[in-house]
Amino acid sequence: MRHDPLHQPIATAAAPGKFILHGEHAVVYGVPAIACPVDGVQATAQVFTKDTPGIVVDAVDLNAQIRTQTDLDHPLSLATNNLLTHLGISAPPGLTVKLQSTIPIAAGLGSGAAITTALISALAQALGHQLDAATISNLVFEIEKLFHGTPSGIDNTVVAYAQPVWFIRDKELTPLKTNIPFHILIADTGIASETVTAVAGVRQRFEANPAQYQAYFDAIADLSHKAKASIETGDPSALGPLFNENQRLLQQIGVSNAALDALVSAATQAGALGAKLSGGGLGGNMIALVTQDTIDTVTTALQQAGATRVIHTYVQ
């Protein structure tokens, strides 16, 4: 679906990617997690008027046009129709939403949450409403359930608020104050990471051995608390050893793989202060804590070790 360049959008919105600093998987079981936005990649939505009634979502990256009044089972239709229900709108005007994203799909960077956040935010604006972050997060969470089965809610939360957060499932989130900003490299294995598969696998192993897995989760909780303290007190370098220990625990709960382990090893050998997988695992991304002086060296090492993409983000 093409748009006349002279036909200006009536509303626009953007949403960042996200990465989990600490607490992935364990967060599903009530353990605190820290998540941060990735400003280097984002999803964008532009809303245009059209002559015929109804809303069409032009998902450019999927090369698909979703008619939300007839393609009822599509997640983007469900997101749109849930928004209309929330706003009390039964007969929407003619609108086209152009969706684009630079966030890698199935890589643990919250691409689904970002796309849905941008869609809901832009559409609400076009329909004359300014939704707060909490409302957007709740609407996005309903769609996250379709993608991830039993999601923690952390993706929709950090993406909708677009700031670092301290997150405990079913509790009020806390914005995280970074006393001293720090550098993170995010490296993609190139292997699609289906979060729903990884989460289901951990649940099966937890149910088979609850005492052992609870011990893993308790240890991850301790690391999350220590990471929060190091960020808030202005000692981000202390995150390095915490990353390394968290990676060891994630290996033990069965969500790392050879590609992730290789990138973690390459990063630490090249001078990263610490490294770990981030997100669902079984592929997707890892993160490395670096300094201004080691960004280029570690980036090169990650690329040589097989990373298909390396993103630098500055957490502040």
Q: Which residues are catalytic?
A: 155
- What element of type H or E holds 254? none
Placement of tokens 């996200």 in the chain: 18
Distance CA 185, CA 313 (A): 6
Distance CA 110, CA 314 (A): 17
Return the SS3 of 223.
helix
Computed on alpha carbons and rounded to an integer, the radius of gyration of the chain in Å comes to 20
Report which DSSP code applies to 61. G
Distance CA 176, CA 171 (A): 15
Nearest to 96 by CA among 8, 190, 210, 200: 8
CA 214: distance to chain centroid?
A: 25
Residue 299 dihedral angles phi and psi, to the nearest 5°: -60, -45
Residue 312 dihedral angles phi and psi, to the nearest 5°: -100, 130
Distance CA 2, CA 209 (A): 54
Distance CA 82, CA 146 (A): 13
